[in-house]
Structure 1
Amino acid sequence: MTDTSSTGQARGEAPAPRRRALYRLMRYLPLVAPVLLWAVPCWVLLYTGQHWPLPVTAGGTALFVLGLVAMPLGMARGHGRRQQDAAAILGDTLLGVSWVLFTWSVLLGVLLRPALAVAGVGVGDGQDRARAVAGAVLGLSAALLAWGYAEARRVPRVRRLDVRLPRLGAGLDGLRVVLVTDTHYGPLDRARWSARVCETVNALDADLVCHTGDIADGTAERRRAQAAPLGTVRATHARVYVTGNHEYYSEAQGWVHLMDTLGWEPLRNRHLLLERGGDTLVVAGVDDVTAESSGLPGHRAHLAGALDGADPGLPVLLLAHQPAFVDRAAAAGVDLQLSGHTHGGQIWPFHYLVRLDQPALAGLSHHGARTVLYTSRGTGFWGPPFRVFAPSEITLLVLRSGN
């Protein structure tokens, strides 16, 4: 007879070694990634046939080694238990610099240069071609970093668009909804930037202003001065807010309390009714999907609770930090979901990695029978103070009724 119990055990345990190997690999990624980010540009710029003078090679290598050591150290001291803002600024900036250098070293040095050599295109001998590629990598990276820094620090442009919702009543046609999200107040003091963002929002004459989370990196107590201008935002009907995943890294309940103090209504798995011209819109909000794993009592994403008591015949505008929540929104028949979280990728080509995790990167998309999702690229930036091919935005959505 066949021993089915031992056979079943063997079958059940067969994948275990593969899983253990995968987990071990994932543990090493934080160690491998920084090495790749600094080693690849170092190799492309200094060791692929350029034959630089020894002081140039030695000095350049020392700079890359210094970056490799300083980046994770700065991020650990800045975002870990020590919460040292100066260290965070250094680590975050080096992360952005290394990402841009790595990207263009791969595209120009690893892929383009061999292709040019095979095709016989280029200047002079192999050394001249290698030096030309190194110059192109450095020049393009420097230009993109300078431009990306300016893009990250400026007040976002206003993106205006009409969104047609068939179930929206005629009395609500033309309702002006302003979306700000992912302000990420953090180690770089942006109190003046915050005030200018709020001035821009106030100039839009909004009926409803929404903030879909990731207000800051740090506790409400530490970032209060940067968040304080949010108290000056004006709206005809309401200012509403939901938590993002970064609130759950830094005492989310403190941010809920501060936003309430500033006059914003936290929609924690609840809704309010916005009435105009005899018609009604349900404005609902849910906690971020990471809330439940935070361990904070009462914090979780609960759409049924958010819509509890709402007339199912009324149109619903839902605030949910992550676009990935749209599957649940579509199943519940939500008309419009507003989200952030993606930053539009922030620094190209990180865009493609974001799309592996989220159903949308930026802009309008349609899901299910009637659900429209709008994903903002975000108003601020996270970590590296750069935005490359992913401009920030303040969004004005004008809601339109009818088909």
Structure 2
Amino acid sequence: MSGPVHHTDHTDPAAALGAELADVPAPRSGPRRVTFAVVGVVAVALLFGVPWWLLVVNGQEWPGWLVAVGTVAPAGMALAFPVLMARGHARGSDRASLVADTTLGVIWVVFTWSIIGSLVGLALAVAGVDNPGRARWVTLGVLVVSAILLAHGHFEAMRVPRVRRTEVRIPRLGPGLDGLRLVLLADTHYGPIDRSRWSEKTVAAVNALEPDVVAHAGDIADGRVAEREPQSRHLGDVRAALARVYVTGNHEYYSQAQEWLDHMADLGWEALHNRHVVIERDGSRMVVAGTDDRTAHGSGLPGHAADVPQALAGADPDLPVLLLAHQPKQVDEAVAAGVDLQVSGHTHGGQIWPFHWLVRTEQPWLQGLTRLNDRTALYTTRGAGFWGPPFRVFAPSEISLLVLRTG
């Protein structure tokens, strides 16, 4: 059960009117559509073509039947992949999504290690190892390493997240809140794979930490509430001494964000839709605020937009502030507002190496604790679940236990 919370609600009443926005992608202009299609075709051609070239016809001198199989199979997968992605993610077929997402994860890992394998092959060539032996051994190595990483990555994606404990010093934190246990969840991404049992076990792991505050920083699910309710219902069993708080992520805005806000409220969570509450323990108080995801404004939902000033409107400026914001890059607004600690998710820690490096181009803070200045700190969780490919490679999931300490 949640403990004492002082409500300070500054939500725009018009927000509730946007609940029935159709879950349809924004229309694209003609030139943008063509550019998008060309980029997609090139990306698919590279993802499937590079491994084919490096593993099948790059000096291996395989028997003809093996070359035929090694050519027809990836070509068929490449042709089916866009169709499955469209049926899955645009039209809502869970079966198509699962096949397409798994294919994406597998081909990404094989593509990555094919590139690495080609560099190993160059080193072996310099060392005087000739083909076809050199190319065949490289191919075997790439396939073995990829299979091991994919098997382990799937295990990591499906397991109950490990607890990652971090102490965070907040100079303005009152002595009564010293040692406050904040458990951070994000990116549960309930989706095509039924993870009801996983959800139940994850909630049990959260409760075992005896948290004072539990925060969910968005991306609960991929799909609407009616589709994912059997998996998400277990969030209603989360226990916290002081508060359970939630903000939207970008994926809520693909799946009727207002429905998810209402659903979390029905489960007993404080939906911090550009608003805040105040928690208190032993005479010390803290503002716990939340803001919409930065993509909210583009969703077209009335009253939905990231608005940190609105979230903090009416808050006592002398109290420390904990801010929930789905994306780490929203910390710029937090710094400007004098927030003491922002907690975020979104990055998945990269999820499948070396996608980490691409994520960093969009989100400079990939995971862990970062001190922005003397006032503001940022904690980015790698998230509890996964999006799309059911794999986590060198980016394990986590339940983040943040122990807050006075300065």
**TM-score for the superposition, normalised by structure 2:** 0.91
Question: What is the CA-CA distance between 1:35 and the residue it aligns to?
Answer: 1.1
Letter of the structure 2 residue corresponding to residue 115 of structure 1: A
| Cα distance between partner residues in 1 of 2:360 and 2:331 | 14
Report whether the alignment pairs 1:30 with 2:40: yes
Partner of 2:106: 97
Contact conserved, 1:321 with 1:340, CA < 8 A, in 2? yes
Report whether the alignment pairs 1:52 with 2:57: no
Q: 2:133 aligns with which of 105, 113, 128?
A: 128
Correspondence list, 1:236-255, <5 A = 236-255=241-260
Question: What is the CA-CA distance between 1:74 and the residue it aligns to?
Answer: 1.4
DSSP-derived class of the 1:239 partner: strand
| Cα distance between partner residues in 2 of 1:261 and 1:21 | 44
Partner of 1:225: 230
Report whether the alignment pairs 1:118 with 2:129: no
Question: What is the CA-CA distance between 1:23 and the residue it aligns to?
Answer: 8.8
Question: What is the CA-CA distance between 1:225 and the residue it aligns to?
Answer: 0.5
| Cα distance between partner residues in 2 of 1:77 and 1:352 | 29
Q: 2:89 aligns with which of 79, 97, 106?
A: 79
| Cα distance between partner residues in 2 of 1:26 and 1:118 | 41
> 190-199 vs 367-376, which deviates more?
367-376
Letter of the structure 2 residue corresponding to residue 44 of structure 1: L
Question: What is the CA-CA distance between 1:306 and the residue it aligns to?
Answer: 0.5
| Cα distance between partner residues in 1 of 2:220 and 2:121 | 43
Q: 2:153 aligns with which of 148, 152, 160?
A: 148
Partner of 1:268: 273
Correspondence list, 1:320-335, <5 A = 320-335=325-340
| Cα distance between partner residues in 2 of 1:119 and 1:278 | 71
| Cα distance between partner residues in 2 of 1:23 and 1:165 | 48
DSSP-derived class of the 2:166 partner: strand
Contact conserved, 1:315 with 1:335, CA < 8 A, in 2? yes
| Cα distance between partner residues in 1 of 2:216 and 2:32 | 38
Partner of 1:293: 298
Structure 1 residue runs of 5 or longer lacking an equivalent are 1-19
| Cα distance between partner residues in 2 of 1:27 and 1:170 | 57
| Cα distance between partner residues in 1 of 2:270 and 2:337 | 23
Question: What is the CA-CA distance between 1:69 and the residue it aligns to?
Answer: 1.8
Q: CA RMSD in A?
A: 1.4
Contact conserved, 1:37 with 1:98, CA < 8 A, in 2? yes
| Cα distance between partner residues in 2 of 1:115 and 1:129 | 10
Question: What is the CA-CA distance between 1:25 and the residue it aligns to?
Answer: 4.7
DSSP-derived class of the 1:176 partner: strand
| Cα distance between partner residues in 2 of 1:345 and 1:272 | 32
Contact conserved, 1:168 with 1:281, CA < 8 A, in 2? yes
Report whether the alignment pairs 1:40 with 2:45: no
DSSP-derived class of the 1:388 partner: coil
Deviations 1:208-231 (A, max 9, x none): 000000000000111011000000
Structure 2 residue runs of 5 or longer lacking an equivalent are 1-29
Paired residue total: 378
**TM-score for the superposition, normalised by structure 1:** 0.92
Report whether the alignment pairs 1:66 with 2:66: no
Contact conserved, 1:331 with 1:368, CA < 8 A, in 2? no
Q: Write out the 4+ residue segments of structure 1 that deviate beyond 4 Å after TM superposition.
A: 20-27
Letter of the structure 2 residue corresponding to residue 368 of structure 1: N
DSSP-derived class of the 1:240 partner: strand
Question: What is the CA-CA distance between 1:276 and the residue it aligns to?
Answer: 0.7
| Cα distance between partner residues in 1 of 2:134 and 2:328 | 45
Letter of the structure 2 residue corresponding to residue 159 of structure 1: R
Question: What is the CA-CA distance between 1:112 and the residue it aligns to?
Answer: 2.3
Q: 1:256 aligns with which of 252, 258, 261?
A: 261
Letter of the structure 1 residue corresponding to residue 51 of structure 2: P
Deviations 1:7-52 (A, max 9, x none): xxxxxxxxxxxxx999965541111111110110011111110000
Correspondence list, 1:178-193, <5 A = 178-193=183-198
Contact conserved, 1:71 with 1:92, CA < 8 A, in 2? no
Contact conserved, 1:330 with 1:369, CA < 8 A, in 2? no
Distance 1:365 1:23, change over 3 A: farther
Question: What is the CA-CA distance between 1:97 and the residue it aligns to?
Answer: 0.4
| Cα distance between partner residues in 2 of 1:145 and 1:97 | 7
Letter of the structure 2 residue corresponding to residue 235 of structure 1: A
Letter of the structure 2 residue corresponding to residue 362 of structure 1: Q
Deviations 1:99-138 (A, max 9, x none): 00100001112x2212321233x4xx21100000000110
DSSP-derived class of the 1:167 partner: coil
Letter of the structure 1 residue corresponding to residue 337 of structure 2: A
Q: 2:361 aligns with which of 346, 356, 359?
A: 356
Partner of 2:24: none
Partner of 1:9: none
| Cα distance between partner residues in 2 of 1:297 and 1:209 | 28
Question: What is the CA-CA distance between 1:367 and the residue it aligns to?
Answer: 1.2
Computing the radius of gyration from Cα coordinates, the structure with the larger value is 1
| Cα distance between partner residues in 2 of 1:26 and 1:230 | 37
| Cα distance between partner residues in 2 of 1:258 and 1:267 | 13
